[in-house]
Amino acid sequence: MGRNRPLSRGFYDRDTLAVAADLIGKVLVHRTKAGVVAGAIVETEAYIGESDPACHAAPGPTKRNAPLYGPPGVAYVYLNYGMHYLVNAVTEPEGSPAAVLIRALEPLEGEKLMRRRRARGSSRSADSFATHELCRGPGNLTRALGISLDDNKGDLTEGPLRIEDRQRPRREVAWSRRIGINVGVEAEWRVFAVGSPAVSGRIRIG
């Protein structure tokens, strides 16, 4: 059993709320020519099925949401508001469209590269970012990690973009409503590590 073991397909092939909670403390890693970056997941949201109006599967199968209907353990990446890539881990058995949105990380590796990427195209300088700001928010973390449409449909169990279990200490978690949506707002399908400064939004504890 290696120390940086990628999560298995079976980890994702489960109830989406369980996966959303169990991803807290796991490590999202992206290996590119520019270098390796990694961060501990501290905030996620579940999007579950065609009956969830906020889930991209709500309209039924389309070209964009096809990965949601595919096998678990695959990345679903899409462009939001014309400028931010958001990354999800597909969950549940094939044919059951659901995923977990990764919303925030605590940087662990490649912080210098994260700073360069965040500063690029921004008015801020690389060293003006606090560490906990680098991957706070779903759009910010994909920028820091260099995640783009190239990573859509990538295999999280073995690709350059993957999620590993690095045996980090268990975090206390709390649940809240999901952030930034106008439908399906009542469900408490957001999970986050209590007290983490990297957690986004106003609903935070600690």
Q: Which residues contact 161 (CB under 8 A, 6 or more apart)?
A: 28, 29, 30, 31, 75, 87, 145, 147, 151, 154
Which CB sits closer to DNA, 137 or 146?
137
Which CB sits closer to DNA, 36 or 183?
183
What is the contact surface with DNA in residues (CB under 7 A)?
45, 47, 54-56, 59, 62-65, 68, 76, 79-84, 86, 88, 99, 101, 122-124, 136-141, 178-183, 200, 202
Q: Cβ 20 to DNA, closest distance in Å?
A: 11
Q: Cβ 189 to DNA, closest distance in Å?
A: 11
Segments of the chain assigned E as strands = 5-6, 27-32, 35-48, 75-80, 84-90, 98-109, 161-165, 173-176, 190-193
CA–CA dist 140, 129 (Å, integer): 12
Q: Cβ 19 to DNA, closest distance in Å?
A: 13
CA–CA dist 186, 164 (Å, integer): 31
DSSP reduced 3-state for 38 = strand
Q: What per-residue string of b and e applies to 27-54 under the rule 16 or more CB within 10 Å gives b?
A: bbbbebeeeebbbbbbbbbbbbebebeb
Which CB sits closer to DNA, 155 or 166?
155
Sign, CA dihedral 76-146-117-19, equals positive
Which CB sits closer to DNA, 119 or 166?
119
Q: Cβ 45 to DNA, closest distance in Å?
A: 6
Q: Cβ 102 to DNA, closest distance in Å?
A: 8
Which CB sits closer to DNA, 49 or 166?
49
Q: Cβ 183 to DNA, closest distance in Å?
A: 7
Which CB sits closer to DNA, 157 or 200?
200
